[in-house]
């Protein structure tokens, strides 16, 4: 794997009033890596990825993307962000949503072709004429993912991308993640699903705002003498598996 650092989180802490949600997190993610942030609900995963996108700023510490300090408006086009809640226009069709976002990204000539490509990846090609308000939760997730992919970003930050998506489609979406990786893209994926965590090149385990371990799934299991990521997580968290 290319060991060039693409994302660097340096001593990041974040507090909301008196509540310290992220506690001195430092972490590097490499070019072409699928990096998973794994942690229970409320552990701080979303807050951490928001600091990366530049949508929020840390109370202390810094985030660097492509060696540039965030926030940096110039980098927006190189980042694809899929938030946990879908930011879609419900009264428009999926096609109109995709057209709207491609105009925002300034895709002109390539727009039609790119919409076709991303729709295929998320398996929505047959449903583009439907109103988003008639979409199921999983379809909305898939449309959000397609939008995050539209401008072919170098770094993809995906907050729980496969929630509400059935296992068959989840598998095909992961296949497309591997294809993106092959093309040199860097993916940061938050999850609390263990089998999904196993699919990542490396994982950062987050518990109560602290990064308690970083490593490849196999390494983490080996180091803790456990058979599952879930048990490794518990061991690192000080709980006997
Ligand atoms: N804007 C905010 N104001 C106050 N507290 C916040 C804010 N955003 C997040 N928090 C708190 O920060 C903590 C971490 O939340 P966060 O959403 O980052 O967790 P998470 O690991 O992504 O959880 P989930 O998997 O449920 O999305 C929670 O206690 C949450 O209530």
**Residue 190 in domain:** yes
User: Is residue 87 exposed (0-12), middle (13-18) or buried (19+ Cβ within 10 Å)?
Assistant: exposed
Separation between Cα atoms, residue 197 and residue 159, nearest integer Å: 13
Q: Is 187 helix (H, G, I), strand (E, B) or coil?
A: strand
**Residue 199 in domain:** yes
CATH of the domain at 229: 3.40.50.300
Q: Residue 70 — pLDDT band, cuts 50, 70, 90? A: very high
Q: Is 132 helix (H, G, I), strand (E, B) or coil?
A: helix
pLDDT at residue 196 is higher than 60:
yes
**Residue 111 in domain:** no
pLDDT at residue 228 is higher than 70:
yes
Structure tokens given for 187? 């993916």
Q: With a threshold of 0.80, does the pTM exceed it?
A: yes
**Where do we find the tokens 């949600």?**
21
Ligand 1 within 6 A of 16 CB?
A: yes
Domains held by the chain: number: 1
Residue 65 has a pLDDT of: 95
User: Is residue 211 exposed (0-12), middle (13-18) or buried (19+ Cβ within 10 Å)?
Assistant: buried
Which residues are 155's β-sheet partners?
A: 79, 186
pLDDT, mean of residues 82-100:
93
pLDDT in tens, 71-89: 988 888 899 999 988 889 9
**Residue 216 in domain:** yes
Q: Whose CA is nearest to atom 18 of ligand 1?
A: 44
46 CA distance to ligand 1 middle (Å)? 7
**Residue 140 in domain:** no
Q: Which of ligand 1's atoms lies nearest the C-alpha of 44?
A: 18
Q: Which domain holds residue 52?
A: 5-81+151-236
**Residue 192 in domain:** yes
């Amino acid at each position: 794997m290319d060991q060039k650092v693409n994302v660097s989180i340096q001593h990041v802490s974040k507090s909301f009033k008196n509540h310290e949600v992220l506690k001195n997190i430092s972490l590097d993610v490499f070019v072409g890596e699928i990096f998973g942030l794994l942690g229970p609900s409320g552990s701080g995963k979303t807050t951490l990825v928001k600091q990366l996108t530049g949508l929020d700023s840390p109370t202390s510490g810094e985030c660097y993307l492509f060696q540039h300090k965030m926030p940096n408006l110039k980098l927006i086009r190189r980042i694809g962000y899929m938030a946990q809640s879908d930011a879609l226009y419900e009264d428009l069709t999926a096609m109109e949503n995709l057209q709207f976002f491609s105009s925002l990204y300034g895709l002109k000539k390539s727009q039609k072709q790119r919409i076709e490509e991303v729709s295929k990846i998320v398996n929505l090609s047959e449903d583009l004429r439907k109103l988003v308000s008639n979409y199921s939760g999983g379809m909305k997730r898939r449309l959000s993912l397609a939008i995050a992919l539209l401008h072919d970003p170098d770094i993809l930050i995906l907050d729980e991308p496969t929630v509400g998506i059935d296992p068959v489609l989840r598998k095909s979406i992961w296949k497309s993640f591997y294809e993106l990786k092959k093309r040199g893209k860097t993916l940061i994926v938050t999850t609390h699903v263990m089998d999904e965590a196993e699919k990542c090149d490396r994982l950062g385990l987050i518990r109560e705002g602290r990064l308690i371990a970083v490593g490849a799934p196999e390494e983490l299991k080996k180091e803790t003498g456990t058979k599952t990521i879930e048990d490794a997580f518990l061991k690192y968290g000080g709980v006997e598996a």
